[in-house]
Structure 1
Amino acid sequence: MSSDVLNYNESSPAPLHQAGRADTTGHAGHSKVAPGEIAVGVIIGRASEYFDFFVYGIASVLVFPQVFFPYLPSLYGTLMAFALFSFAFIARPFGTTLFMTIQRHWGRGVKLTASLFLLGTATAGIAFLPGYAELHGTAIVLLAVFRALQGVANGGSWDGLPSLLALNAPSRKRGWYAMVGQLSAPIGFLLAGGLFLYLHSTLSTDEFLDWGWRYPFYVAFAINVVALFARLRLVVTDEYTRLLEEKDLEPIGTLHMFKAQGYNIFIGAFASLASYALFHMVTIFPLSWLSLQATQSVNSILAVEVVGACLAILGMIVSGWLADRIGRRTTLGLMACLIGVFSLCVPWLLGGGTKEQDAFILIGFTLLGLSYGQAAGTVTANFGRQFRYTGAALTSDFAWLVGAAFAPLVALGLSTLYGLVSVTAYLLSGVVCTMLALFINRTLETQD
């Protein structure tokens, strides 16, 4: 994740609210690793997490209401599924705290192995979990537990490679390398959405709800195993360990982190809120809203979203090029404004015909790529070297929690009661928070 979205020129004197930031060029004669090599590790590691993430999200719409909440109407079953969906985001900061402690005592390799083993176990548990018809309320409790464990594991899967990539990126291409790790999100959705589309279109409804939906979770488990070995190959080698130590990318206590840099955690989280708010509005929410409204078939919606994921990849590539020319803070603010304009069109697009609904998905994915491509950089922008590792993880956790955890639940619930203007209000609130956080950060720089 990018190390300098809010403060573009890292070589300039650090303001007081960035006390502790040191030169990020490393020590002369020490470990040098090509940014491209680090980028491969970032993409592999995070793509597996996003695939797991989207498999659960899509299943929350297509599967869980029928399998775990068959006693409720479709709308309320989906709302219950979305409530459980949020558990992972609630648990994630606790996972970060737990596994940072494990790393301090037993090392990065043990931490990463334990977290991904836990993630794989929780994912496999969901894959084999009987439905409400067999276990009744116990099935729902176990699903909630497995979902929370996924969040704990995701909190512990932070390996520091995005921060390492940011600190080793060429000064004129920091926007480009900030975008690289974010490519994992649309890639993960492309794979998850494509797999569900194939299964849902080739199997009967009974076959899909009985056993077909479980295959994506099996695949997620297998991908996590492969990603584990790929990431361990990087982060536990002497060369990478030495480089991480040279960049001061080591864990510190969460309480100490909040006491010393709590304000920067929240500035970073809110600075990217517009992008995080949009994240589920164009991936999970349209699938639930349109399928419940029966205006399009599930297969048609998934097909359009798969195309949208490709547009998001292109948007991210453009964001890297753009950020290196106009600055990443300017890019982040500009995209927030465009999201605000887009939000005003939501009632017309989603409430219209098939062409308008498809346009909402495709435009939304494109904006997501342009904005999310640079959003992650805010998580380490203001931290001193010794705070980067833990600060990046916690800021990302809180950005997800505040911006995205409850988005499908809130959007679907409020839209049902008050109409699609609720989605407009939700997205605009994220835009306001982003612009306010960017303004506060700029004001602090000016004062310093």
Structure 2
Amino acid sequence: MSADAANHSPGHLTDEHGRDHVTPADIALGVIIGRTSEYFDFFVFGLGCVLVFPELVFPFADRLTGTLYSFGIFALAFLTRPLGSVLFFGIDRRYGRATKLTVALFLLGGSTAAIAFLPGFETIGLWSGVILAGFRLLQGVALGGAWDGLSSLLALNAPPNRRGWYAMLPQLGAPFGFILAAGLFAYFEGALSKEDFLGWGWRYPFFVALTINVVALFARLRMVATHEFAELMETRELMPVPVSELIQAHGRTLVLGAFVPLASFALFHLVTIFPVSWINLFTDRSVSEFLLVQGAGGVVGAGAIVTSGLIADQIGRRNTLLLAGAMIALFSLSSIVAPLLFGDSLAGQTIYVIIGFGLLGLSYGQTAGAVASSFGTQYRYTGAALTSDLAWLIGAGFAPLVALTVSSEFGLAWVGVYLLSGALCTLAALALDRRLEGRYG
């Protein structure tokens, strides 16, 4: 069959320039694959901060201190993510979106995969920590560059009465990425002796990252080559603008938008990375078994994300965020008055994880759509990227470090206080800017 015949076969549509047409379902699949690869890389590193790096890179410190050092390195990527966004905006303007994504995803997957070859402290001393920090900084830069605008493309191609549904689809990448990362670590940590796991078993999840990112790259490049994407680029809907221009035009929206998803982002690592560190340091529960429980929680979270889309299409996105923020506030209050929920009780730990993932999915399902819809046509692409970067930095980047520090010093109730602060910020941000009601609804 000739290329022309293939291009005009049933189900394959092209425009007069030979560019593909895609349906919202095609876009959604590409976005989900891309987001899954990003979250897999980050969760693999986060779990490594708990199960590997304290003993491999910081054996000179006690287990708690080594984990805190690891969480300090974990936070570095959230510091460099905004810098990566700005850097890759320039690459986008000069060389195009396809070049930008190719460089960013190979940098992200390559940085993660390179950690698999990391020598320990016993081999190269303090250089082990320096190299680990360097790769983590590169992960953050790459993640900033991996912002592709496909979520906006998906929202703009969604039916008007289904925008909440389509806005939640990219968010499914988070639970999918976590389930995959947790499953791999659960298998190797549970099947191998401690010596074999620390010697070579932990390295396999990091190897997988490069393969997943290559698959994600091709899925995204297919979307970038579509007629719809090219059309939106031509109308500046998905074109980057100078950051100074964005701040001058929408500085207040940028700041408020960063606080809108704070409840969700604060909860994000408090049900994924932090609980593993507590289980590993302060309980006798099997880490591999707990990771499987968290995997089940990830399934609940994915279901809650889907539910958020259904709810948002009925009551509006802003009301959905208000509802989720209020529920997270109640959840944090219960953690303050009843810290035994995540103490030594196996049932309490499981309940905390399942409820936490459910609330995370309900709130996180609409955060991307909320951020993107806050900006007009010209500033949507750059505004959504930088708002998301700031929200992750403020809400999630230091969450494992803060939570482990305060809980080890003052008790688990203070984790609830930390989460409550994020929920209150979300509710306050939604209340301060009533204009969000029209954009989010």
**2:365 alignment counterpart:** 373
Q: Which runs of 5+ in 2 are unaligned?
A: 1-18
**1:352, CA displacement in angstroms?**
4.6
1:237-291, Cα deviation, whole Å (9 max, x unpaired): 4553234434621011112211221211111110110000000000011100121
Q: Which shifted more, 256-265 or 86-95? A: 256-265
> Is the Cα contact below 8 Å between 2:21 and 2:226 reproduced in 1?
no
> Is the Cα contact below 8 Å between 1:274 and 1:339 reproduced in 2?
yes
**2:15 alignment counterpart:** none
Within 5 Å, give how 1:130-169 maps onto structure 2: 130-169=119-158
Q: Which shifted more, 123-132 or 431-440? A: 123-132
**1:116, CA displacement in angstroms?**
1.2
The amino acid of 2:291's aligned partner reads L
Any runs of at least 4 consecutive aligned residues in structure 1 with deviations exceeding 6 A, and if so which? Answer: 443-446
Within 5 Å, give how 1:214-363 maps onto structure 2: 214-237=203-226, 240-246=229-235, 248-346=237-335, 347-363=339-355
Summarize the Cα distance change of 1:295–1:340 in structure 2 as closer, same or farther, 3 Å threshold. farther
**1:428 alignment counterpart:** 420
Cα distance in 2 between the residues matched to 1:40 and 1:245: 24
> Is the Cα contact below 8 Å between 1:65 and 1:77 reproduced in 2?
yes
**2:394 alignment counterpart:** 402
> Is the Cα contact below 8 Å between 1:277 and 1:427 reproduced in 2?
yes
The amino acid of 1:436's aligned partner reads A
**1:378, CA displacement in angstroms?**
2.1
> Is the Cα contact below 8 Å between 2:371 and 2:388 reproduced in 1?
yes
Q: How many residues align?
A: 417
Within 5 Å, give how 1:11-160 maps onto structure 2: 33-160=22-149
1:171-218, Cα deviation, whole Å (9 max, x unpaired): 111111111000000000011101111111111111110111010010
CA RMSD of aligned residues (A): 1.6
Cα distance in 1 between the residues matched to 2:130 and 2:434: 46
Cα distance in 2 between the residues matched to 1:199 and 1:412: 25
**1:443, CA displacement in angstroms?**
6.5
The amino acid of 2:274's aligned partner reads F
**2:10 alignment counterpart:** none
**2:5 alignment counterpart:** none
Summarize the Cα distance change of 1:274–1:264 in structure 2 as closer, same or farther, 3 Å threshold. same
The amino acid of 2:31's aligned partner reads V
Greater relative CO, 1 or 2 (CA 8 Å, sep 6+): 1
Summarize the Cα distance change of 1:381–1:239 in structure 2 as closer, same or farther, 3 Å threshold. closer
**1:429, CA displacement in angstroms?**
0.5
Summarize the Cα distance change of 1:72–1:363 in structure 2 as closer, same or farther, 3 Å threshold. same
Cα distance in 1 between the residues matched to 2:232 and 2:268: 33
**1:307, CA displacement in angstroms?**
0.6
> Is the Cα contact below 8 Å between 1:275 and 1:368 reproduced in 2?
yes
Cα distance in 2 between the residues matched to 1:312 and 1:300: 18
**2:433 alignment counterpart:** 441
Q: Which runs of 5+ in 1 are unaligned?
A: 1-29
> Is the Cα contact below 8 Å between 1:32 and 1:243 reproduced in 2?
no
Cα distance in 1 between the residues matched to 2:120 and 2:234: 47
Summarize the Cα distance change of 1:149–1:180 in structure 2 as closer, same or farther, 3 Å threshold. same
> Is the Cα contact below 8 Å between 1:51 and 1:192 reproduced in 2?
yes
The amino acid of 2:356's aligned partner reads G
> Is the Cα contact below 8 Å between 2:318 and 2:437 reproduced in 1?
no
The amino acid of 2:430's aligned partner reads L
TM-score (norm 1): 0.90
Cα distance in 2 between the residues matched to 1:263 and 1:407: 25
The amino acid of 2:414's aligned partner reads S
Equivalent of residue 419 in structure 1, options 411, 433, 438: 411
